[in-house]
Amino acid sequence: MTAQRDILDQVCPEVAKMEGLVLELGLGNGRTFHHLRERLPGRRIVVFDRALGAHASSIPEAENLVLGEIRETASRFIGIDAALVHADIGTGYDDRDAVTSTWLPDLIARLLRVGGIAVSGTPLDHPLLQRLPPPPSVPADRYFVCRRV
Ligand code: SAM
């Protein structure tokens, strides 16, 4: 959680200067969504999850909430030129996260504008996603930040 916030705090000032949507893949209880709303006031944030389970104070407007399997639902946004995609859909189970890694990096590369930023709890190995150094407070390979090239 701290790693996630430290990275988002690092990238949000740059994202604030870029045009484009912010996409939050994995609403969960909405803590990160809440944080992004505070860091990027006025920016449209579209949020994805298979089900709504967020705290009442962190529920997006209906037009910015997309329910269903992210692999399918977010694919409909390919080409949207997002400024930031944040994905927190890792499970902590290597076998399950390995499956996610077969489709998530390519999906994120297609959602982002050139120069846009990806932040993810699972690795984003993709030729169009250039890894950036995390803040010093974040241990290597805890959380990942990349720029779309
Ligand atoms: N960052 C969130 C927060 O601050 O509360 C926590 C996200 S939680 C770890 C992961 C969420 O992603 C869960 O709500 C889960 O339902 C959703 N999720 C994981 N994989 C998904 C998938 N393939 N499609 C749709 N939702 C998914």
Give the pLDDT band of residue 141 (cuts 50, 70, 90): confident
Task: Tell me which residue has its CA closest to atom 12 in ligand 1.
Answer: 26
Residue 31 has a pLDDT of: 96
Residue showing tokens 């690092």: 10
- Ligand 1 contact via 50 beta carbon (within 6 Å): yes
Predicted local confidence at residue 143, as pLDDT = 92
Check residue 101 and give its pLDDT.
Answer: 96
Mean of per-residue pLDDT scores for the chain: 96
If we measure between CA atoms, which residue out of 75, 82, 24, 84 comes closest to residue 54?
A: 24
Centre of ligand 1 from the C-alpha of residue 50, in Å: 7
- What domains are defined for the chain? 2-148 (3.40.50.150)
Best probe residue, ligand 1, of 89, 99, 103 (max atoms within 8 Å of C-beta): 89
- Per-residue pLDDT for 78 more than 80? yes
Name residue, tokens 């200067």. Answer: 17
Q: Is 49 in the pocket of ligand 1 (CB under 6 A)?
A: yes
Using the CB atoms, write b or e for 53-73: b if 16+ within 10 Å. Answer: ebeeebbbeeebbbeeebeeb
The verdict on the CB of residue 121 being under 6 Å from ligand 1 is no
Q: Looking at residues 85-112, what average pLDDT do you find?
A: 97
Where does the pLDDT of residue 2 fall: very low under 50, low under 70, confident under 90, or very high at 90 and above? confident
* Mutation to probe ligand 1, out of 49, 55, 58, 85 (largest number of atoms < 8 A from CB): 49
The one-letter amino acid at 16? A
Q: How confident is the model at residue 64 (pLDDT cuts 50, 70, 90)?
A: very high
Identify the pLDDT of residue 139. Answer: 87
What is the structure's pLDDT at 147?
98
pLDDT at 96: 96
**pLDDT at position 34 over 90:** yes
Percent of residues, the chain, with pLDDT higher than 90: 92
Q: Check pocket membership of 75 for ligand 1, CB cut-off 6 A.
A: no
- Contacts from 52-60 at CB under 8 Å and sequence distance 24+? 52/27, 53/27, 53/28, 53/29, 54/27, 54/28, 54/29, 54/30, 55/29, 55/30, 55/31, 57/30, 58/27, 58/29, 58/30, 58/31, 58/33, 58/34, 59/30, 60/27, 60/33
